[in-house]
Every structure is written in C-alpha cells, then in structure tokens.
Amino acid sequence: MKILPVCVAILLTLNAAAQRKEPVKLADNYTIITYSPTLPELKQVYANAKPKPNGLTKTETDEIDRLLRQSVEEYNQKQEEEFAKWKELDSTLKKEDFMINLSEYKRQYVPVITETNEAEVWVNAICYWAGERWRKEIIRVDDGGKCYFNVKINLSKKAYNNMTVNAQ
C-alpha cells in the first residue's frame, strides 16, 4: 500500500510540471523577450493596456509559427495584386521585392496575458540584423520596408491582427 501514495505524488508532480510554462529552447530564428511596461519600444504597442508578462511552451511557439505564416500568406496575396499593378508601369520590378519570405527573418516574441486574461504575443520580425543584440532587446527602426514588420497573435483565440509592415 506504500506504492499508491508514491504513485499519486509522482502523478501530481508530473501534472504540475506540465502546467508550468517551461522555457523554450533557444532557436536560431526567434527569441523570447519578457514584457516590461518600462520598455519604450512596447509603450506604443500596449499604450492603453496593462498586460502581464507570460512565458511560452513549445506547443505555443508552434502555434505562433502557424499563425504567423497565415498572416504572411494573407499579406503576400495582397502584395501580389500590388505587384501586378506596378509591373504594368515598371517592367524592371521584381516580385520578390514585394513579398515576405518568412525564412529570412529573425523574430522577437513578447508574450503577455492581457487584461481579459488572454494569451497574446507581439511578434517583431526583422530580416537583417548583425550580431546577437536582437536576442536581448527590441529592435525598432523607421522605414526599412518589408524588412521589418510586426503582428499581434492571440493564442487564446488562435487569431492574428494588427500586422504592420514598415514604410519604405
């Protein structure tokens, strides 16, 4: 009968570990940055909100990737239409200059819990950045075109919104 309490203790420990937000391993193409209301780069993103910092699981980073790909596909469909219009005026234009190729981007994930208790991630994507600074601090630039974009992903609703691509 001593085995039963030990089994129960093991199951409770495993269940608690599964529910905790364990840190995700460092990836080549993304980093996770902890939200802080003092970060000047995030004051505009969460101007009228008071989110709380959150962690991410591997399952959540996979969902972020899926939704991010969806948002980029939607953007690229619109860009194909723009390219077709501009191509008539300038035959030297290249389609790849209009499109986002997600595999060329580094991503910064800032996970939060919103005031309505939903898991949300602000994704900041950058196509060029030398060094490792992008792993530790938010990279914000003016202009830069499609090389810099960001989007909010709501993990609770499995949806994305507010995709913004920098101007040229």
User: Could you tell me if residue 94 is inside a domain?
Assistant: yes
Work out the pLDDT band at 9, boundaries 50, 70, 90: very low
**114 class by beta-carbon count within 10 Å (0-12 exposed, 13-18 middle, 19+ buried):** middle
Task: Give the domain extent around 62.
Answer: 23-165
User: Could you tell me if residue 142 is inside a domain?
Assistant: yes
User: Could you tell me if residue 126 is inside a domain?
Assistant: yes
Closest CA to 125 of 113, 114, 138, 136: 138
User: Could you tell me if residue 159 is inside a domain?
Assistant: yes
pLDDT for residue 34: 95
Work out the pLDDT band at 44, boundaries 50, 70, 90: confident
User: Could you tell me if residue 139 is inside a domain?
Assistant: yes
- Distance, in Å, from the CA atom of 22 to the CA atom of 8, rounded to the nearest integer, reads 22
User: Could you tell me if residue 96 is inside a domain?
Assistant: yes
Overall number of domains in the chain: 1
User: What is the tens place of the pLDDT at every residue in 63-115?
Assistant: 999 999 999 999 999 999 999 989 888 889 988 888 999 999 999 999 999 99
Q: Is the pLDDT of residue 12 over 70?
A: no
pLDDT for residue 10: 39
- Distance, in Å, from the CA atom of 120 to the CA atom of 13, rounded to the nearest integer, reads 27
**105 class by beta-carbon count within 10 Å (0-12 exposed, 13-18 middle, 19+ buried):** buried
The arithmetic mean of pLDDT across residues 141-149, rounded, is 84
Question: Rg (Cα) of the chain, in Å, rounded?
Answer: 20
> For the CA atoms of 12, 62, 67, 39, what is the dihedral angle to 10 degrees?
80
Integer CA distances (angstroms), 91 to 40, 78, 82, 85, 87, in order: 42, 19, 13, 11, 5
User: Could you tell me if residue 9 is inside a domain?
Assistant: no
User: Could you tell me if residue 107 is inside a domain?
Assistant: yes
- Distance, in Å, from the CA atom of 152 to the CA atom of 110, rounded to the nearest integer, reads 9
